[in-house]
Amino acid sequence: MTRIRIKWPKGELTAALADTPTAQAVAAALPATSRASTWGEEVYFSLPVRVAKEPDAQQVVAPGTVCFWVEGAALALPYGPTPVSQGGECRLVTTVNVLGRIEGDPRALAGVRDGDAIEVALI
């Protein structure tokens, strides 16, 4: 299992990635830096990764799921409802490739601000 660290100016999280084609592509692109965007209770940021949508892509995931938004070439980290959610679910804008899970409390992502510098690296 691959583990990554995601850092921003006021915090950091670690995540465990499953052994999927997209997770392997993301790991191969690390370390990387980007700028955070927020959308409801989701943080996302671009990575230099181009992959196809996997057969088990999902649109509704559990809080703290590490996702890859294929159309946006971005890592997406939902921790609560987004503008397209129904109720309290974590619904992304499209189906996404599921890569793994954040270790610990994903609500720490609430400290990420639009435009924050993000660093992602292998542990």
Provide CB contacts within 8 A for 92, sequence distance 6+.
42, 59, 60, 61, 67, 69, 76, 78, 82, 84
Which domains are present in the chain? 2-122 (2.40.100.20)
In tens, the pLDDT along 4-14 reads 999 999 999 99
* Average pLDDT of span 60-68: 98
In angstroms, what is the C-alpha Rg of the chain?
Answer: 13
What is the model's pTM? 0.96
Looking at the predicted structure, is the pLDDT value of residue 1 above 90? no
Q: Is 76 left (phi over 0), alpha (psi -120 to 50) or beta?
A: beta
In tens, the pLDDT along 82-117 reads 999 999 999 999 999 999 999 999 999 999 999 999
